Amino acid sequence: MATIRDIGLAAAINILSAFLFFIVFAILRLQPFNDRVYFPKWYLRGLRSEPSRSGAFVKKFVNLDFRSYLRFLEWMPAALRMPEPELIDHAGLDSAVFLRIYLIGLKIFVPITLLAFSVLVPINWTNDYLEKSHVVYSNVDKLSISNIPNGSKRFWTHILMAYVISFWTCYVLLKEYEIVAKMRLHFLASEQRRPDQFTVLVRNIPPDPDESISELVEHFFLVNHPDHYLMHQVVYNANKLSKLVKKKKNMQNWLDYNQLKFDRNPSSRPTRKTGFLGLCGEKVDSIDYYTSEIAKLSKEEAEERERIKITTKSIMPAAFVSFRTRWAAAVCAQTQQTRDPTVWLTDWAPEPRDVYWKNLSIPFVSLTFRRLVTSVAFFFLTFFFMIPILMVQSLANLEGIEKVVPFLKPLIEQPLIKSFIQGFLPGIALKLFLIFLPTILMLMSKFEGFIALSILERRSATRYYIFQLVNVFLGSIITGAAFEQLHTFIHQSANQIPKTVGVAIPMKATFFITYIMVDGWAGIAGEILRLKPLIIYHLKNFFLVKTEKDREQAMDPGSIGFDTSEPQIQLYFLLGLVYAVVTPFLLPFIVVFFGLAYLVYRHQIINVYNQEYESAAAFWPDVHGRIIYALVISQVLLFGLLGTKKAAQSTPLLIALPILTIAFHRYCKHRYEPAFVRYPLQEAMMKDTLERAKDPNFDLKGYLLNAYIHPVFKTEDDDDSAAGDQEMETILVPTKRQSRRNTPVPSKYNGSSSPSLSEVVRELP
């Protein structure tokens, strides 16, 4: 039983460790040789270049200006200083709106915390139920609802508070939905011309024995949208080609690495073995080997390119169809084209950067099947993931290791090492699984066949949230694996479930407080250090980088990672809302989390992250919906808890709460969601008219010609069009941030993580 003092101590330790992280970060970020790790966003935007090229050699790597170390927390106010409109210009609407999630957290929980501490805490504290009941309790419990005797009139306060909290949360959510919808519409309205505004993705084009796909598309749209059709771009199945290109790139990296090695040490030519992973087989000269491999791959690639262009088989029954006006594209995207609702399916084309090309070649008919398979797989993943892990754990014990690697036996038989392994091994399978979980979920979404990165991320986020809800939240409250819970729940009365969970909630408060500190506070502080990109950048820099261009590719700015970070925030919303009435003592920890996270992510978004796409905050309905669900869960659990506390006369009042909340959700959905799904004709018409007036002779066809070509078809003219990048970007707003030290240098859009997508952009005039 943790007392307030214990928790205070833990908090102090966690705060100190966070502080330590910040100090390390402050030191690292000031070193010029880390500049590209901590400020990649500015490089990518071309607003920063290599610091101080002239000057002493040492200065190039280490910052010797000691005054700068004194101001080691200066990034905090700096992160807050950039106003929101500038942030949108700088990092895109997605990032700016993502930060608003943390802000909502603060907006919801700061007033709730103040209210709860001024009302609920005194009411809970001034009871002596726990003292009388002779159970073991800590003073944290004395602050919680557990301290109220059964059937007490004081529960009315808690019910009232539940109402106040629900109304306040809904009010904040409503306002926020309104603001974000407005921001999105404003963003879309003020955007420059973009290819996806004119383009619709047509899928499942029915085969025709007499016409090729391309002719078919042209005829269909010339007939059915006669005044509006402009052009189209068929979709090739270039997955094999992409693989070849990727392989070649990999070989090129190895060649570069060996070349560099040879340059540094000209006495010995590097060698490698030709077998599996270079571990066995014949020894050959590495440079020669890779050069010949690359030549072979280049030939294969050229053949594949030829094959795709000649055979009709590689043309998928899908096409990007562009129209003369935004109005016509909006019309085509929102209407049904033919009698049969499963063919000629039209939908907005994703932004070219956002297209997930690989999935465009999935036959449409298999999508339903894929969706079913993924749902079933996800269900089993969520509820039964513990089974294989338990199996692995039972295998990966000391005896197992001794059997497989008998020569280690004397080593691991030593008491210290033995106890370490025994304590460590059972956990490692679980930890590994949890680390790879987002990747697994992303693979699931990819298998499901979505065609845009933004949709993939949103889908993974939903699944991750459900997983956390079941396994972290419920799993911690009712200890036991999820599949055991499932069994219990099925055999329980429907209205028994909230009671079972509700009763356990107050007991787990201290656990979740610790969880928030370790996972939340420390995790956020660790995020700013960027340890993994730091190491990888320096490794790459040392082994691969030859030219300035290579160095740019070695930068990995990363992105917000909506699919993992958003579900994490949602977990804190859930904890906050559930414990607000039950154990208000948990609330300050949530508030600190949101405040810290807001600071850190704002800094990272300004200086580090580089979004791969811009969905104009299309994720907001998901965020809003999940907070609502958290609210409903909290209400149902409170209902269950009070049910066992014999505060029976309050039941009807508490039933009304989730009903009202869901009604509110439906209202919001109806009122604001269309802004995130559809494109109103009036807006389209306005932009069209404006553009016609401003630029009547614009060559739209030329502009759209190469917009939706598979990225691998563009790599050929990689170099000569690199300068084209800048034109695509919005006009740079002069910024006064101190990070902008030098004049703009042409730079590539994207890090090495997904080069294929970024290259699309370059083609645009």
Residues at the site binding a second copy, with contacts judged by CB under 8 A: 185, 223-225, 227, 330-331, 334-339, 341-342, 344, 368, 372, 490-496, 663, 667, 670-675, 678-683, 685
568-601 CB burial, b ≥16 within 10 A, e <16: bbbbbbbbbbbbbbbbbbbbbbbbbbbbbbbbbb
735-755 CB burial, b ≥16 within 10 A, e <16: bebebbeeeeeebbbbbbeeb
Closer residue to a second copy in complex, CB, 464/679: 679
Closer residue to a second copy in complex, CB, 60/228: 228
In the complex, least distance from residue 198 CB atom to a second copy, rounded to whole angstroms = 16
In the complex, least distance from residue 58 CB atom to a second copy, rounded to whole angstroms = 58
In the complex, least distance from residue 628 CB atom to a second copy, rounded to whole angstroms = 17
**What letter would DSSP give residue 342?**
T
CA dist 90 and 41 (Å) reads 9
In the complex, least distance from residue 738 CB atom to a second copy, rounded to whole angstroms = 38
Contact yes or no for 18/76 (Cβ under 8 A): no
Closer residue to a second copy in complex, CB, 311/493: 493
Contact yes or no for 9/146 (Cβ under 8 A): no
| Rg of the chain taking only CA atoms, in angstroms | 29
Closer residue to a second copy in complex, CB, 367/481: 367
In the complex, least distance from residue 281 CB atom to a second copy, rounded to whole angstroms = 50
User: How many CA atoms lie less than 13 Å away from 90 in the CB half-sphere?
Assistant: 27
In the complex, least distance from residue 226 CB atom to a second copy, rounded to whole angstroms = 8
Closer residue to a second copy in complex, CB, 550/683: 683
Closer residue to a second copy in complex, CB, 373/443: 373
In the complex, least distance from residue 501 CB atom to a second copy, rounded to whole angstroms = 15
In the complex, least distance from residue 367 CB atom to a second copy, rounded to whole angstroms = 11
SS3 of 566, please? helix
Nearest CA to 181 among 624, 706, 760?
A: 624
Closer residue to a second copy in complex, CB, 97/577: 97
User: How many CA atoms lie less than 13 Å away from 167 in the CB half-sphere?
Assistant: 7
Cβ neighbours for 524, distance < 8 A, ≥ 6 positions apart: 18, 593, 596, 597, 600
Q: Which residue carries 């979709």 as its tokens?
A: 235
Closer residue to a second copy in complex, CB, 156/667: 667
Closer residue to a second copy in complex, CB, 163/364: 364
Q: Which residue carries 């190491």 as its tokens?
A: 535
Which amino acid is located at 39 in the chain? F
Closer residue to a second copy in complex, CB, 214/224: 224
Burial label for 421, CB within 10 Å (0-12, 13-18, 19+), is middle
In the complex, least distance from residue 674 CB atom to a second copy, rounded to whole angstroms = 4
In the complex, least distance from residue 455 CB atom to a second copy, rounded to whole angstroms = 18
Nearest CA to 673 among 168, 104, 178, 199?
A: 178
Closer residue to a second copy in complex, CB, 330/628: 330
Closer residue to a second copy in complex, CB, 178/402: 178
**What letter would DSSP give residue 147?**
G
Closer residue to a second copy in complex, CB, 346/634: 346
Cβ neighbours for 361, distance < 8 A, ≥ 6 positions apart: 235, 237, 238, 239, 316
In the complex, least distance from residue 182 CB atom to a second copy, rounded to whole angstroms = 9
Nearest CA to 634 among 583, 591, 574, 587?
A: 574
CA dist 159 and 165 (Å) reads 10
CA dist 52 and 603 (Å) reads 23
Contact yes or no for 3/138 (Cβ under 8 A): yes
In the complex, least distance from residue 300 CB atom to a second copy, rounded to whole angstroms = 41
In the complex, least distance from residue 341 CB atom to a second copy, rounded to whole angstroms = 4
Contact yes or no for 126/152 (Cβ under 8 A): no
